[in-house]
Structure 1
């Protein structure tokens, strides 16, 4: 059943005249008549009766008219949705964000992207690297922004965006405030509050072990804000990424001897075709001036 036949049928229903219906559909009257006849052959009965200059819809035509109208409306809706999607109007985009990545470096990007592409609805989905990798591979998110202390799987395309130092956080008045940069050995004997979702915890622990540094583990939490508030309250210290949004009263210094940093990356599935919205976002992320952001962009991670 040809969709054009349905459109011609509905035009005749509306105009009650084959000639005017043909003009409305921009086809010749004989072509429209043949299409109506073919449609009648398919449904197995007459749809119209012609009496001189008048055209009457039959009972079968009246029965099928709302169904044909629904088919045409559905098709037009599909075309309109596809057009809006391809034109980046009301397109939906899911971006996975690693839960330990703070918003400071991304606010400018997202503000600029929103101003340029208001039709794209952006949803941020937070998670740890393992969860984001699963969602990305399954297609439940379109792209991910994350970091890892190990190599990313080969099935992913990875673009490094910026480097971020690790800092030591401690309460106001703490002895570590006397350092411009805190050597790892200086935290020996301190009470440590563990950020459970820190993807570099194993690496940081290894650095401490190699230097004979022992800390007293106290509270642990998945909540970054809870750990920061406990540190600010004088309950211990912790490592945090440089661009974390810190709570009032928290003091921070870079980690030194060795200096430690992570690379925050844009991650997509290798070989997967991008929708127009995803391609636009990926292009915006890659072209953004990350090197112009706060903090150094040329750090080197030392060997353990």
Structure 2
């Protein structure tokens, strides 16, 4: 019995197909079939039911599968232990993010980690904060940069890496701009067409909650996940944008910026599962990210 045969068996069961398993393993389908037939001859039992439209494990095969998973996990653990001892880190790290402000250099952080640990496979996906939190708790992500609600979801720990005021930005010919004011009561937005983040954003949740506390439901006409898009829409006179202050003030020729009363703040956080991960690569990335993002995070208000 060879580890390769157990790996092939696991792949066929998980993919429910010899063809898909071969593609996943980057080998030929006859090679996969041959190795599994050899394993079945050695054990004297059929491990896979090939009679249906999809391949399924037989009763004996399901039992063998448990031992196969355990054996492959033990081998992977032994390899990781040796790699840690020799200083060569391997593995996979999956990171998620919302659309970020330009000053938060997540690509630079990923690149610096890759230079330290070139044998670790990194992946990055973009999504809304709620989806990222769900992927974290389900184990599909090792870390995420998201816009948190007031309390983190169960099983997720946060490190705040940005905490900025949200402001209103309007075009230079907007009535708010012509008035010369630099501060605005939140209730004055009740009858305005608003431009802000998508409903999946944690920052949008903060905005909706602030408007509800002020006694109105915002009239949102334009949504985007990228704050720079919000700024451009406001500059073209499409409405009043609610966005982070640094983004708004980056367009002094096109936008007039007003502070909100009461103040509303938008936050970004590095998030990870509270339970310690078994992956040395993920632990190393979290340590790297927490240190790097601490040095770049603004001081608390």
TM over 0.5: yes
Superposed CA deviations along residues 232-266 of structure 1, whole A, max 9, x for unmatched, are: 21111221234559996653636332222133222
Where does 1:110-121 land on structure 2 (aligned, <5 Å)?
A: 110-121=110-121
Superposed CA deviations along residues 97-132 of structure 1, whole A, max 9, x for unmatched, are: 124x32422345445434444443432211112211
Give the match for residue 241 of structure 2. Answer: 238
Task: Tell whether the 8 Å contact from 1:185 to 1:213 is kept in structure 2 after alignment.
Answer: yes
Give the match for residue 57 of structure 2. Answer: none
Task: Tell whether the 8 Å contact from 1:291 to 1:297 is kept in structure 2 after alignment.
Answer: no
Give the match for residue 271 of structure 1. Answer: 275
Give the match for residue 73 of structure 1. Answer: none
Superposed CA deviations along residues 43-89 of structure 1, whole A, max 9, x for unmatched, are: 9xxxxxxxxxxxxxxxxxxxxxxxxxxxxxxxxx9799758964455
SS in 2 for 1:167: strand
Structure 2: runs of 5+ lacking an equivalent: 4-41, 43-74
- Residues 277 and 191 (structure 1), Cα distance of their counterparts in 2 relative to 1, 3 Å cut: same
Given candidates 180, 190, 193, the residue that maps to 1:191 is 193
Give the distance between the partners of 2:211 and 2:79, measured in 1 at CA.
56
Give the distance between the partners of 1:220 and 1:213, measured in 2 at CA.
18
TM-score in terms of structure 2 length: 0.58
Give the distance between the partners of 2:2 and 2:184, measured in 1 at CA.
75
Task: Tell whether the 8 Å contact from 1:91 to 1:119 is kept in structure 2 after alignment.
Answer: yes
Q: Does 1:262 align with 2:266?
A: yes
SS in 2 for 1:201: helix
Give the match for residue 65 of structure 2. Answer: none
Task: Tell whether the 8 Å contact from 1:159 to 1:267 is kept in structure 2 after alignment.
Answer: yes
Give the distance between the partners of 2:130 and 2:233, measured in 1 at CA.
27
Give the distance between the partners of 2:114 and 2:205, measured in 1 at CA.
37
Task: Tell whether the 8 Å contact from 2:231 to 2:248 is kept in structure 1 after alignment.
Answer: no
Give the distance between the partners of 2:292 and 2:270, measured in 1 at CA.
12
Shift of 1:95: 0.7
| Most deviating of 246-255 and 281-290 | 246-255
SS in 2 for 1:288: helix
Give the distance between the partners of 1:245 and 1:122, measured in 2 at CA.
32
Give the distance between the partners of 1:227 and 1:125, measured in 2 at CA.
22
Give the distance between the partners of 1:116 and 1:136, measured in 2 at CA.
24
Give the match for residue 37 of structure 2. Answer: none
Task: Tell whether the 8 Å contact from 2:172 to 2:254 is kept in structure 1 after alignment.
Answer: yes
Where does 1:1-304 land on structure 2 (aligned, <5 Å)?
A: 82=80, 86=84, 87-88=87-88, 91-99=91-99, 101-107=100-106, 109-177=109-177, 178-187=180-189, 189-197=191-199, 198-208=201-211, 210-211=213-214, 216-221=219-224, 226-242=229-245, 251=255, 253=257, 255-288=259-292, 290=294, 292-293=296-297, 297-299=299-301
Shift of 1:228: 3.6
| Most deviating of 276-285 and 113-122 | 113-122
- Residues 106 and 88 (structure 1), Cα distance of their counterparts in 2 relative to 1, 3 Å cut: farther
Give the distance between the partners of 2:126 and 2:104, measured in 1 at CA.
16
Give the distance between the partners of 1:111 and 1:242, measured in 2 at CA.
28
